[in-house]
Amino acid sequence: MRAGRSGLKPCDFETARLPTWIGEAPGIDGATLPAALAAYDCRNQRLAWLGLQADGFLQAARAAIARYGADRVALALGTSTSGILSTELAYRERGADGALPAWFDYRATHNTGSLTAFVREALGLRGPALTLSTACSSSAKVFAAAQRMMAAGLADAAIVGGVDSMCLTTLYGFASLQLTAPEPCRPCDAQRQGLSIGEAAAFALLERPGAASGDADGAGGVMLMSGRGSWESVGEVDGGADVVLMAQAKGWRTGLIPSSSWTVSPIARGPW
């Protein structure tokens, strides 16, 4: 905001030439997954991998796994688009009989469960894992899901997050509903003309209060947040303060963060 710079640009994604602006996360096209995870290669999983590596989150997650054990760290991730772009690209190459190309792997790319399978394998997790796909609420509901798993004694910590990547279905879908703005979006502006579609990956590490130290009174709950991408529908607005307030509200409501003793470490980077 101080530099007067935005992550939004005129739409030039793939073959889409729509009169709108988009927030495309940088570095995805050049990103590569570890060789052992190559089967998951798609835009969504690449974005997830970049998000995991942002700001030391991967190291923090692995430290928590070492501290609690791979079977005591839960995983809950939200997505709506998943790797649908892979299916869109595959349809361009379908044969005369309608068969999709041999390289296309629906289970490891397009399927909504592929995101969680990818992250679970990347981190070597063996605890409970699930994917939530409830449109815009997906990555909010994972916090509640994680809290329930920890409250039930199924886990001492949880890695939660959300990953949604750009695809033609989303761009043309929102454009067909006349919801996309022909200029950079202007939230809360009386003259606003619509939204700007973006993509992003964000993760949070939640630790049950007192789990690491055995502290019965629950002091010292921690929430570490990290992400990469572009803000959808907020343009140049810095969401840092909102993230902190949301984290406080969720933490107090779920009991993850005691009101008397808590730590919130919001970390984010990208083209705001």
Is a pLDDT exceeding 70 seen at residue 215?
A: no
127: three-class secondary structure by DSSP: coil
Question: Residue 188's pLDDT is what?
Answer: 87
Is a pLDDT exceeding 70 seen at residue 242?
A: no
Q: What is the mean pLDDT of residues 199-205?
A: 94
The more confidently predicted of residues 235 and 182 is 182
Question: Residue 234's pLDDT is what?
Answer: 32
Question: Residue 149's pLDDT is what?
Answer: 95
Q: What is the mean pLDDT of residues 66-73?
A: 97
Question: Residue 228's pLDDT is what?
Answer: 63
Tens digit of each residue's pLDDT (9 = 90 or more) over 138-185: 988 999 999 999 999 999 999 999 999 999 999 999 999 999 999 999
Local confidence band at 213 (pLDDT 50, 70, 90 cut-offs):
low
